[in-house]
Amino acid sequence: MVSVPEADVLTTAKGGSPGLLARERTIAGPRFNRWLVPPAALAIHLSIGMAYGFSVFWLPMTKLITEADPAACAKLGFLAQLFATDCNWTVPAVNHIFETFIAMLGISAAIWGAWLEHAGPRKAGFIAALCWGGGLVIGGIGVSMHQLWLVYLGAGVLGGIGQGLGYISPVSTLIKWFPDRRGLATGFAIMGYGGGAMIGAPIAVALMQKFTTNGVPGVSSTLICMGLLYVVAMSAGAFGFRVPPSGWRPLGWTPPAESANKLITHRHVHLRNAWKTPQFWLIWTVLCVNVTAGIGVLSMASPMFQDVFGGKLLGLDSAVELSAAQKAAIAASAAGLVGLISLFNSLGRIFWASTSDFIGRKTTYFIFFALGIALYCSLPTLGHMGLAGAFVIAVCIILSMYGGGFSTVPAYLSDIFGTQMVGAIHGRLLTAWSVAGIVGPFLIAAVREAQLNAGVAKNLVYDRTLYILAVLLLVGMICNLLVKPVKESALMTDEDLDRERSLQHEASNVSTHAQDAARGGFGVVGMIAWAAVGIPFLIGVWIAITKAAALF
């Protein structure tokens, strides 16, 4: 496995010429077409997006030891389970893997964001492939050895580093290729993260069934196979990246006048200054609150739907005792809701990010919070009235805005801080996701448990939680309204910009070939590239729609 610092040797070939992964080797030539960059980004994000589908492994991972002693194993705590080889793991012991790689995503993006800007998207994407795919392989080996600590180290820690590098590697590049449609560009890539589970989860389920032996689920072989698959897919995406030469612009496009939108800067802020500004922390809070609220609904959507509506979904009175078949039908409906919100989580990313190109990022986030508050407060009432259809629509809109928050924030950052170091700044901002990914589920579980212990009925325990989330959204709305242009003192000087461009191996002034670069046609290569990511994504959409059909 190649660590981030050690990978620098891959960028220098014999004689001192740039190596295969060097940023200089990725500068676009005249025949390149900028629409080849989004499928490269999608190849990476669709791969790491399997993070959202990891829940398919939790239950099978608790059934790996067929001759375990239930009485003896029941006494094992989490730390003991990390090293035990003769007891099955519990669901709580394994599902912290998700929290681990989400935490590592934010941490690694923050640590290596500045390095990524200098190294370029090809090197960062390739290392992300080795870390995410290699982490799954190591996790699969850990499962085969029944060593939970190794699963955490591989899938959780190393995989989380791959998540972080893979998530931010396309951002700066896409924004520079699409200065005319920043939201659309980042929406394409980050849509892939939301849709990765729609593709990966069905594949994982099918592979586990195929590799099941003597009643033991094939988790180990599945993780290894998927890890190798993701190494190939992400490497293909990494080597498909190109960066525009300094000064490149789309044909016929000119930057808007500085007076057109005061929030869009025409200069740049260095990473070392960006995170010290109030604007950074206001947007950090905006993202953290939006993610916390969205995770709250995402994590409890299925049980909430079943608890709130119960037999009403089958036209029965809520007081009627349900049979096993009726409970199974209700569970199938809840699974349909999960499939539907996965679809809205993904498609909302491209919809809202594209919309922000026309109405502005600040207005887009205002809609997220204003509409979100109304919807969160309406859910308890819709539940009490038994309006399942309206309830489902509200949840789907909420999850579309959850996804839209992720895809709109890179463009928001580029508006406020400029494009030169937006990838590194985005990396620092993703620590908000790490915090929300840990705090959000803990907050939801704690409030629910406290109410159950207080004797609150199951169909009512979610009301207070939803109102708390609505208050959080109000905090986010206030922070968003407070975002203003950065002060002149925070902006880079011309000398700072020249120094930064030299570290990125860019010319200090506009390249003489800038207006001739990347003017090639879409062609057969473009169709193949888009088909390679588009067909699997559409298959995932079809599977999600098929699951959602159980609701109707």
Would residue 286 count as lying in a domain?
yes
Residue 537 lies in a domain: yes
Q: Do residue 304 and residue 172 come from a single domain?
A: no
How many C-beta atoms lie closer than 10 Å to residue 77's C-beta?
Answer: 9
pLDDT tens, position by position, 131-190: 999 999 999 999 999 999 999 999 999 999 999 999 999 888 999 899 899 999 889 888
Per-residue pLDDT of the chain (552 residues; tens, 9 = 90+): 444 444 444 444 555 567 889 888 888 888 999 999 999 999 999 999 999 888 889 889 988 988 888 888 888 888 989 998 889 998 888 888 988 988 899 999 999 988 988 899 999 999 999 999 999 999 999 999 999 999 999 999 999 999 999 999 988 899 989 989 999 988 988 899 988 988 998 899 899 999 999 889 999 999 999 999 999 999 999 999 999 888 888 888 887 776 567 788 888 899 889 999 999 999 999 999 999 998 888 777 767 777 777 666 655 555 566 666 666 666 666 666 777 888 899 999 999 999 999 999 999 999 999 999 999 999 989 888 888 888 889 999 999 999 999 999 999 999 999 888 898 999 999 999 988 887 777 777 788 788 888 888 776 778 888 898 999 999 999 999 999 999 988 888 888 887 887 777 665 444 556 777 788 889 999 999 999 999 999 998 998 888 777 666
The reply to whether 284 and 408 lie within a common domain is yes
What is the pLDDT at residue 507? 55
Looking at residue 257, its amino acid is A
Last residue of a domain, one of 492, 507, 540: 492
Q: Does a structural domain hold residue 384?
A: yes
Instruction: Give residue 7's pLDDT.
Output: 43
The pLDDT assigned to 6 comes to 42
Distances, alpha carbon 281 to alpha carbons 183, 373, 425, 467, 498, in Å: 21, 22, 11, 25, 27
Instruction: Please give the DSSP secondary-structure letter assigned to residue 420.
Output: T
270 and 242 in a common domain: no
Count the alpha carbons within 13 Å of 21 in the hemisphere toward its beta carbon.
23
Q: % helix / strand / coil in the chain, to the nearest 5?
A: 75, 0, 25
User: Are 379 and 416 in the same domain?
Assistant: yes
Residue 309 domain-assigned (yes or no)? yes
Distance of CA 488 to the CA centre of its chain: 33
Q: Are 525 and 40 in contact (CB under 8 A)?
A: no
Decide if 66 contacts 216 (C-beta within 8 A): yes
pLDDT for residue 488 = 87
CA-CA distance, 384 to 378, in Å (whole number)?
10
CA angle centred on 130, ends 127 and 132, rounded to 5° = 105
**How many domains does the structure of the chain reveal?**
2
187 is in which domain, residue-wise?
Answer: 32-65+81-246+524-551
Do 325 and 205 fall into the same domain?
Answer: no
Residue identified by tokens 């994504």 is 537
Q: Is residue 194 part of a domain?
A: yes
Tokens at 409, concatenated:
């924030």
Is the same domain home to 408 and 285?
yes
CB hemisphere CA count around 298 (13 angstroms): 25
What are the pLDDT digits (tens) for 317-355? 555 666 666 666 666 666 667 778 888 999 999 999 999
Residues 231 and 268 in one domain: no
User: Do both 532 and 481 map to the same domain?
Assistant: no
Residues 6+ apart with CB under 8 A from 65: 86, 87, 88, 146
Whether 97 is in a domain gets the answer: yes
Q: Are residues 197 and 289 in the same domain?
A: no
| Locus of tokens 């290569």 | 525
Which of the 8 DSSP states describes residue 27? B
The CATH number given to whatever domain includes residue 468 is: 1.20.1250.20
In a domain, 208, yes or no: yes
Residues 326, 465, single domain; the answer is yes
543 shares its domain with 414: no
Residues 6+ positions from 361 with CB-CB distance below 8 Å:
183, 263, 408, 409, 411, 412, 415
Q: Do the domain assignments include residue 210?
A: yes
Burial class (CB in 10 A: 0-12, 13-18, 19+), 498: middle
Q: Are residues 320 and 423 in the same domain?
A: yes
The pTM is what?
A: 0.88
